[in-house]
Structure 1
Amino acid sequence: MTSFRMKRPLFSGLAALAVSVTTSSAWADPQDYQFQLVQTEVKVGDGAIVAVRLIDKKSGKAVPDAVIFAKRIDMAPDGMEMMASPIEQVSSTEPGVYRFKTKLSMEGGWRLSLGAKVQGETGTVEDKLVLKAVP
């Protein structure tokens, strides 16, 4: 009987610890973040710069040091999803602002799709933004 009485509080304590670790590690959700275009209109041409800001929706603050691992730009808003352009991330001097260099070959609607990891968070932040290429 003694060993059963000792194991029961130990098991209860371990179960409580497991629950607290599980709930405390989930501080934020990927839906707590969103990308926003710095400018909704960008000039047509090779070397066009598209800038976005990653925002923590709970605090309203910009989120620096995210790792952008997926990026695509295409003309899906104008019904031409297959018309995609190469895109590369370039440096930014403003924390929480991420800049991309691309070729906007024609006027119209362009969709920027991004996937990112926020430091210290689990899950992936994904967003699709629509901008307009202008002359």
Structure 2
Amino acid sequence: MSLPFLRMRGALAALALSATTAVAGADDFRFDLVSTDHRVGSGAVVELRLTDLRTGAAVEGAVIYATRMDMAPDGMATMTSPVTAMPTEEPGIYRFATDLTMAGGWRFSVAAKVQGEPETVSAEIELRAEP
């Protein structure tokens, strides 16, 4: 192979590699449960942290557009509770109020759009409500 061909092939490989690493995907972000103490009752607060896994930085300004709280972990997916977004002052923290009407396992499903990213970031997080 000629030297110019090898140089061009190397340049194309570098370009392809940089193009694939420059665009993030939904798997590059993660929601984690911040609050772990959840009591049965109305107005329970659920706090989630959204992190960019590539940098470890908190992600601010995500648009949360779908939430659902249900008791799927205890086999009662039709047992749902309304979820209301709450204000927060901490970067990357998203707060929600809900009614945990029964003790047991609850699943919180959330979907968000992160600015500049084409894919939806979603999570299903399990938590436990105690009496």
What's the TM-score bracket when you normalise by the shorter of the two chains? Answer: 0.7 to 0.9
Q: Secondary structure at the match of 1:114?
A: strand
- 1-side partners of 2:39 and 2:79: how far apart? 17
Q: Match for residue 84 of structure 1?
A: 80
Amino acid at match of 1:96: G
Q: Secondary structure at the match of 1:52?
A: strand
TM-score by length of 1: 0.80
Q: Match for residue 59 of structure 1?
A: 55
Between Structure 1 and Structure 2, whose CA radius of gyration is higher? 1
Q: Match for residue 108 of structure 2?
A: 112
Q: Does 1:121 align with 2:121?
A: no
- Identity rate of aligned residues, in percent? 50
- 2-side partners of 1:42 and 1:62: how far apart? 23
- 2-side partners of 1:40 and 1:80: how far apart? 21
Q: Is the 8 A contact 1:70 1:114 kept in 2?
A: yes
Displacement of 1:39 in angstroms is 2.0
Amino acid at match of 1:78: D
- 2-side partners of 1:25 and 1:132: how far apart? 37
In structure 2, list runs of 5 or more residues that go unmatched: 1-11
Structure 1 residue ranges, 4+ long, deviating more than 3 angstroms after superposition? 23-26
1:69 to 62, 65, 69: 65
Output one character per residue of 1:9-36: Cα deviation in whole Å (capped at 9) or x when no partner: xxxxxxx9xx98xx37952111100100
State the Cα RMSD in Å: 1.8
TM-score by length of 2: 0.82
- 1-side partners of 2:66 and 2:96: how far apart? 12
Query: Which sits farther off after the overlay, 39-48 or 124-133?
Result: 39-48
In structure 1, list runs of 5 or more residues that go unmatched: 1-15
- 1-side partners of 2:86 and 2:33: how far apart? 16
Displacement of 1:41 in angstroms is 3.1
Q: Does 1:30 align with 2:26?
A: yes
